[in-house]
């Protein structure tokens, strides 16, 4: 392919610069992204024929690979096929999709739910439908990229407030012009840090300022609340969030995302949100997998407790080994290295020792806050958790001194 005519185009420079950055990391044998997983068994994955312990799973309740879920998915493929006849609004809707939406709504305590093909799409769809030019949308600085993208695409005035700073939310709402629609969007559990939004304060502010409140439960569904029903259950504040959203690819081991709330909201989204009207339905196999997973979550709440025991052990074990780890009630435990190279080096050494935790560097996180984001699931045994703790601590104490003169953060 000839690309000479593109040589002076700035896009070419950007593309080439990024490729060089990737290539340099690969040359140093520090590239640990896009590893082709060949098989999974409980908390272990096989990569290049080698079984390693996964310390970076989103399948918090250990439901990925559950036979009941796989049987449900297979049965749905046999009954409905691998796809749908297009978008749901026209010929692509099935009774399975309708049942899934009712199941989600009942489980999380909402009137209705609308399912989209991914969590990313659900956030963009809902936010762009609800607000537009002349409105104000307020987000936490650390909200997920799909929330920020939805806000930017909406055309509303976006106010990004400092992390978990509810006074700043209050201020932003107070400054909103009269007559503007006002929406506040927050992650329940922040995906890179594992901390929890101050829901009681946020609900209070939104109610006082008459703003709609939307909360992304992608990392709290199945994790927060003794029943895994999420952040309202955790704080004992049922029925206080106007719009609840979650990915269906984490505790629920499938693909998709939902927006749940009052019936009128669902009617609007199903008839006007562009990702619903102009994009194909979730495949039946994935919808059936979600349904079976919600059944299991309801039937086996002990999985939530097992997860809790595992993340408590992980947090206290890492802390006992000299790492600075916060005390959040979630499965995401960041080990901040600050420096990109420290994160890349730690991840490589962990992998060589049989523990797979890909490094997270900017732009996924702010510059100088690179990290290993360690997670455990209900599928990890106590011995697995100990193995992760032991290996992370040993690797940290090896790598941290090497980078101590640079910018290792904590
Ligand atoms: C907080 C949060 N919201 C939304 C998403 C997007 O979900 P999905 O992967 O289903 O598109 C993610 C995915 O990582 C997430 O962490």
Q: Output the CA 122–ligand 1 centroid distance in Å.
A: 9
**Predicted pLDDT of residue 3:** 83
For residues 127-141, give the mean pLDDT: 98
Evaluate if residue 400 carries a pLDDT over 50: yes
Q: Output the CA 54–ligand 1 centroid distance in Å.
A: 19
Summarize pLDDT for 336-376 with one digit per residue, the tens: 999 999 999 999 999 999 999 999 998 899 999 999 999 99
What strands, in cross-sheet order, belong to the sheet with 136-140? 112-116, 257-261, 243-247, 212-216, 182-187, 136-140, 157-161
**Predicted pLDDT of residue 410:** 41
Pocket probe for ligand 1: among 116, 120, 143, the residue whose CB has the most ligand atoms within 8 Å is 120
For residues 295-318, give the mean pLDDT: 98
Tell me if the pTM is above 0.85. yes
Nearest CA to ligand 1 atom 16: 191
Summarize pLDDT for 384-399 with one digit per residue, the tens: 999 999 999 999 999 9
Ligand 1 atom at minimum distance from 249 CA: 10
Nearest CA to ligand 1 atom 8: 119
Q: Output the CA 144–ligand 1 centroid distance in Å.
A: 7
Reported as a pLDDT band with limits 50, 70 and 90, residue 328 is: very high
Q: Output the CA 245–ligand 1 centroid distance in Å.
A: 10
Q: Output the CA 218–ligand 1 centroid distance in Å.
A: 6
Q: Output the CA 246–ligand 1 centroid distance in Å.
A: 8
Nearest CA to ligand 1 atom 9: 119
Q: Output the CA 123–ligand 1 centroid distance in Å.
A: 9
Ligand 1 atom at minimum distance from 146 CA: 4
Evaluate if residue 407 carries a pLDDT over 70: no
**Closest to 400 (Cα-Cα) out of 350, 348, 342, 351:** 342
Evaluate if residue 294 carries a pLDDT over 70: yes
Six-digit token pair at 47?
């990569």
Distance CA 378, CA 222 (A): 10
Q: Where are the domains of the chain?
A: 27-56+301-403, 67-299
Summarize pLDDT for 188-235 with one digit per residue, the tens: 999 999 999 999 999 999 999 999 999 999 999 999 999 999 999 999
Q: Output the CA 273–ligand 1 centroid distance in Å.
A: 19
Six-digit token pair at 59?
């399948």
In three-state form (DSSP H/G/I as H, E/B as E, the rest C), the secondary structure along 285-350 is HHHHHHHHHHHHHHHCCHHHHHHHHHHHHHHHHHHHCCCCCCCCCCCEEEEEEECHHHHHHHHHHH
Ligand 1 atom at minimum distance from 121 CA: 11
Evaluate if residue 408 carries a pLDDT over 70: no
Ligand 1: residues with CB < 6 A are 118-120, 123, 144, 146, 187, 191, 216, 218-219, 247, 249, 257
| Arch. (CATH architecture) of 27-56+301-403 | Alpha-Beta Complex (3.90)
Summarize pLDDT for 15-29 with one digit per residue, the tens: 999 999 999 999 999
Pocket probe for ligand 1: among 191, 290, 332, the residue whose CB has the most ligand atoms within 8 Å is 191
Q: Output the CA 322–ligand 1 centroid distance in Å.
A: 31
Six-digit token pair at 270?
């199903």
**DSSP symbols for 203-258:** HHHHHHHT-EEEEE-TTTTTTSSTTS--HHHHHT-TT--SEEEEESSSSS-SS-EE
**Predicted pLDDT of residue 41:** 87
**Predicted pLDDT of residue 405:** 73
Ligand 1 atom at minimum distance from 247 CA: 10
259 sits in which H/E element:
strand 257-261
Nearest CA to ligand 1 atom 10: 119
**Predicted pLDDT of residue 84:** 96
Assigned CATH topology for domain 67-299: 3.40.640
Evaluate if residue 332 carries a pLDDT over 50: yes
Evaluate if residue 409 carries a pLDDT over 90: no
């Amino acid at each position: 392919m000839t690309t000479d005519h593109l040589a002076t185009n700035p896009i070419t420079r950007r593309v080439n610069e990024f490729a060089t950055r990737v290539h340099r990391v690969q040359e140093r044998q520090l590239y640990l992204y896009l590893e082709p997983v060949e098989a999974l068994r409980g908390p272990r994955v096989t990569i290049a024929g080698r079984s390693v312990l996964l310390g970076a799973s989103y399948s918090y309740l250990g439901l990925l690979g559950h036979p009941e879920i796989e049987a449900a998915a297979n049965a749905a493929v046999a009954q409905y096929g691998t796809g749908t006849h297009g978008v749901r609004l026209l010929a692509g809707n099935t009774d399975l999709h309708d049942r899934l939406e009712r199941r989600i709504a009942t489980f999380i305590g909402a009137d209705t739910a609308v399912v989209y093909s991914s969590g990313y799409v659900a956030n963009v769809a809902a936010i762009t439908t609800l607000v537009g030019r002349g409105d104000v949308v307020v987000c936490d600085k650390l909200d997920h990229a799909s929330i920020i993208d939805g806000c930017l695409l909406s055309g509303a005035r976006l106010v990004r407030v400092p992390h978990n700073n509810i006074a700043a939310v209050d201020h932003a709402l107070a400054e909103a012009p009269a007559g503007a629609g006002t929406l506040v969007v927050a992650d329940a559990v922040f995906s890179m840090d594992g901390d929890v939004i101050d829901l009681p304060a946020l609900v209070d502010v939104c109610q006082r300022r008459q703003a709609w409140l939307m909360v992304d439960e992608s990392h709290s569904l199945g994790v927060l609340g003794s029943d895994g029903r999420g952040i309202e259950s955790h704080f004992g504040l049922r029925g206080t969030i106007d719009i609840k959203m979650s990915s269906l690819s984490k505790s629920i081991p499938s693909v998709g995302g939902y927006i749940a709330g009052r019936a009128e909201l669902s009617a609007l989204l199903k008839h006007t949100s562009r990702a619903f009207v102009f994009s194909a339905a979730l495949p039946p196999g994935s919808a059936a997998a979600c349904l079976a997973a919600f059944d299991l979550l309801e039937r086996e709440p002990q999985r939530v407790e097992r997860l809790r025991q595992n993340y408590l052990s992980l947090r206290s074990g890492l802390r006992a080994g000299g790492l600075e780890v916060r005390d959040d009630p979630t499965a995401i435990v960041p080990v901040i290295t600050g420096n990109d190279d420290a994160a890349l080096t730690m991840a490589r050494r962990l992998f060589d020792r049989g523990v797979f935790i890909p490094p997270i560097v900017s732009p996924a996180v702010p510059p100088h806050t690179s990290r290993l984001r360690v997670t455990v699931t209900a599928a990890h045994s106590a011995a697995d958790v100990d193995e992760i703790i032991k290996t992370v601590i040993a690797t940290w104490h090896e790598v941290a001194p090497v980078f101590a003169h640079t910018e290792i953060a904590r």
